Each structure stands twice: as structure tokens, then as C-alpha cells.
Amino acid sequence: MVFSLPATPAEKAKFRQYLATISVTLGMTVVGEMFGWPSPTLPKLQHPTAVAPLHLDHRQTSWVVSLLYLGNMLSPIPAGFLMDRLGRKRSLVWLSILPISSWVLILLARSAVHLYAARLLAGFWIGIVTTISPIYIGEIAEPKIRGALGNFVSLMTYSGDLFVYVIGPYVSYHALAVIAGLVPVLFLLTFSLMPESPYYFLMHKEKAKARESLRWFRGDKEKEDLEAEIDKMEENVTRQMQNKGRVIDIFTSRANRKAFFIVQMMAIFVKFSGTGVMMAFASTTLPKDAFKSLGPSECVIILGLTWVVFAMVSMLLVDRLGRKILLSFSSFGCGVAMLLAGFWFYMDSATSVDVHSTNWIPFTSFVFHGIVYSLGLGPIGMAIKGEMLAANIKANVSAITSIVLALSSLFLNRIYLLIADSLGMYVNYWMFAGSCFLATAFTAIVVVETKGKTLQEIQDELARNKRPSNPQEDS
């Protein structure tokens, strides 16, 4: 089959939207690298005989891990402010100096303090890019492919994780820093060439620039069709921007309140599904002799590969089946996997039953969890804020969501081993199962289907109420 460049406006539009999405989510690949970096690197820095530029004790190691989350919590609010003042593109391009500087500091580090600074800068970038990139994607995407494009946020994060897990154990400390550091440079070079979101220009009443941006994203389609879309977009943005985007505006209309509630709950469900801590502590959680041919590094690589492959599958399904079906199936499946893993840990630690012959169950449960998580809860739960939020609250709510994600991650990383030591490992997994089953019910009852709808149609759906309502409240 001979490859040919897109020729029709529809083909150009799809190609350009995918190109811009891949470019902006290279920033999320950097996030995956930063989350994954400690796994292959810290053992080298802790081993007294390892060839490394410095060595860390347990206290220093804890700070290296924790400062990432501190930076992640501090940067979303400024990022939300900047994305509305400077623009989505300009904010990300200018601030890409943070991850580049982080990898340079890691490369040149000669003391723990250098790593502290590097990880704090990395955390700043995580908070910034997770706040801005889903909004950018939601604003440039056509309804028919918006779900697939939104899934790139998670797919590229998983890819960054997997990239570090695969090469980290087999290259030197310095080689890993150089290789991983090339990704934010690639992000800077490619995303600098992409247009700004047309929504940002319309928010600042720059319709001519918005038209040029939209023309590029829509593949140079017919002038009449382009004008109709830009006029409708302008009308919607103007209506949504009547309130100036104060935090209080999140709660002044039914649509905003419901969108805020859905987005925050999905962020919590994503983290409390257990995926992050499961991956982080896999080497200490899994039975040591579960698979004689697989070590901790290989198990983590298999889990990471599972995420990437099935996140790709989700991209093919999300705009066909819809968000609610995939979310419900995924959340329920994650709950079953965690329930099973918890049952095994309970039998192992709280009973006299010999479970040695079933040591394969926890890892198999983790893999199944990874499959169903990557089909729905992970990618859709992370991308949903790009679809749900009105123009005037996007910056504030996206920033709040990034902080909720960071706090949830920090909380779970701190309590995971504490619960395991004081109550039993099985309590962690039954807690994750309960969260997943709650997410299933929440999706069925509360979440709004966004498949095939424009951003304004989603706002109209959020504002709708079964009982007669005050028209002013829905405005």
C-alpha cells in the first residue's frame, strides 16, 4: 500500500488535528518519563558499589520522590492563569524550559540537592502540562474524533513510563538522562510549529487569528463552512465568557457545577483505582517467586506495555461506543481485578491457607486491571476535562483538577505501605475495588455522554434538568 498525503479538506483536518495532538502530548511523554525515572535509577543511587555520580540514603531518596509531587501541586494555579493570559501554546512552549532544565540538572548532578531541584522543576512541568494540554486538545478537535485525540494524554504518558522502564535498567545513569532529555527538546521543536487554539483567540476577541487557526485545523475547508463554524464558536465563547472566570463562577450555574463535580470525581477515581501505586510498588508487592523467569523490572515492563497497547485499542473504540460504556465496563473490570488481588493477599496474610501454588494471581490481576483500566477509566478519566468545561472556568477547574490528581497520588503513595504494615496489604486492594465499583455507579448515574457532541452541546446537556428549572440558573 502506497502512502499518500491527505488531499481533501476532511483528510487534511484529521491529519492536522492528530499531528497537533501528538505534538502537544509529547509533553505528557515527559511526564511519564519523570514518573518512571525513579524505578530504574534509585537502586543505582542507593547501592554503595554502583557506578553513579552520587549516592543517596533513605531520607534523601524520600525527598527525591516527594518533591515531584510538591512541584505538581504548586504549578497548576499559575498554569491556569497563564493559559488564559499568554495562550495555551505560548505557555507550554515558554515553560518547556522546566523539563529541559530538570534533565540537565539530573545529568550534571553531584549532590542530592541537585536532584531535589531537578525533581521540583519536573513537578512544576507535570502540573503545567496536565492542566493545559487536555484543554488545548478539546478545543482543536472535531466532535467525531475528540475522544480518540483526548486519549493521547494517557497514551503518551504511558509511553513515557514504558520508555524509561525498558531502557533504564540497561543503560547508565547519564545515558538515561541524555536520552530522556531529548523528548522535551523534541516537544519544544514540534509544538512551536503548531497553531494556537482558536478558542483562546476568540476569548480575546481576535476573530481573524481564530479564523486562521481554525482554517488550519479544519484542513482549509470551504470558506462558507469555515465562517459558519467560527461564527457559532464565537457565539458560544461570548456567551460562556459573560462571567469572567472567577472561582465563584464554577458554582453559579448548573452546567458548571455538574461539570466541576464530574471532572473532580473522575480524577479521584482514576487515582484511587490503584494503578499508580500498583506500578510504583510492584517490586515489593508481588510474590517474589510468582514467575521464576520474570524479575521486578520485567513485570513492570509487561504492565507498562499493557497500558500502551490497550490505550491504543481504546482510541479505536471511544468515538464508536461512547465514553459511558467504556467507563462503566472499565471501572467494573478494575474493581473485579482489585477484589481478586485483595482476596489473594487476604488468604496469604490473614489465614493459614497455603497460597504458594497460586502466586500467579496477583500479577495476573494487575495485568487484567491494566487492560481494562487502559480501555476506559485511565484515558477517558484524564481527558474528560477537555470536553466538559465552559470557556470561562476552564483555567480554574483544570488547575484544581491537576492539584486533586497530585494530592491523590501523594496521599496514596504515603499510605500504601502504612496500610500494608498496620492492617494488611489486602486492605489497600479492597479499598481500590470499592473505589472502582463506586466509579461504575457514578458513571451510570451522573456522567454525561459526550460522544459526537460539540462543546456547546455538552454544555447544554450539563445544564438540562428533569424538573422545571429557573431559566436564569441554567444560563
Residue listed under C-alpha cell 464508536: 320
* Mean pLDDT score across all residues of the chain: 88
Q: Is residue 267 part of a domain?
A: yes
Q: Is residue 446 part of a domain?
A: yes
How far is it, in rounded angstroms, from Cα 14 to Cα 438? 36
Q: Is residue 86 part of a domain?
A: yes
* Residue 470 burial (10 A CB sphere; 0-12, 13-18, 19+): exposed
Whole-number pLDDT of residue 299: 79
Whole-number pLDDT of residue 291: 63
Q: In this structure, are residues 393 and 241 in contact, taking their beta carbons and an 8 Å threshold?
A: no
Whole-number pLDDT of residue 454: 86
Give 205-222 pLDDT, tens digit per residue: 999 999 999 999 998 888
Q: Cα angle at 206 between 200 and 211, to 5 degrees? A: 80
Q: In this structure, are residues 142 and 13 in contact, taking their beta carbons and an 8 Å threshold?
A: yes
State whether 182 and 278 are in the same domain.
no
State whether 176 and 271 are in the same domain.
no
Whole-number pLDDT of residue 468: 41
Q: Using the 3D structure, point to which of 194, 209, 227 is the last residue of a domain.
A: 194
Domain residue limits at 14: 10-194
Q: Is residue 237 part of a domain?
A: no
Q: Is residue 207 part of a domain?
A: no
How far is it, in rounded angstroms, from Cα 176 to Cα 165? 11
H or E, element range at 395: helix 394-422
Whole-number pLDDT of residue 472: 41
DSSP string computed for 375-389: IIIHHHHHHTHHHH-
Q: Using the 3D structure, point to which of 129, 161, 194 is the last residue of a domain.
A: 194
How far is it, in rounded angstroms, from Cα 227 to Cα 215? 9
Whole-number pLDDT of residue 471: 40
State whether 182 and 322 are in the same domain.
no
Number of domains in the chain: 2
State whether 89 and 187 are in the same domain.
yes
Q: In this structure, are residues 395 and 81 in contact, taking their beta carbons and an 8 Å threshold?
A: yes
CATH, residue 356: 1.20.1250.20
E strands of 361-453, at which residues? none
Q: Using the 3D structure, point to which of 156, 178, 194 is the last residue of a domain.
A: 194
How far is it, in rounded angstroms, from Cα 75 to Cα 398? 12
Q: In this structure, are residues 157 and 29 in contact, taking their beta carbons and an 8 Å threshold?
A: yes
Q: Is residue 224 part of a domain?
A: no
How far is it, in rounded angstroms, from Cα 23 to Cα 4? 21
Q: Is residue 55 part of a domain?
A: yes
Spans of the chain below 70 pLDDT: 1-5, 48-51, 243-245, 283, 289-293, 295-296, 465-475
State whether 392 and 253 are in the same domain.
yes
Q: In this structure, are residues 353 and 347 in contact, taking their beta carbons and an 8 Å threshold?
A: yes
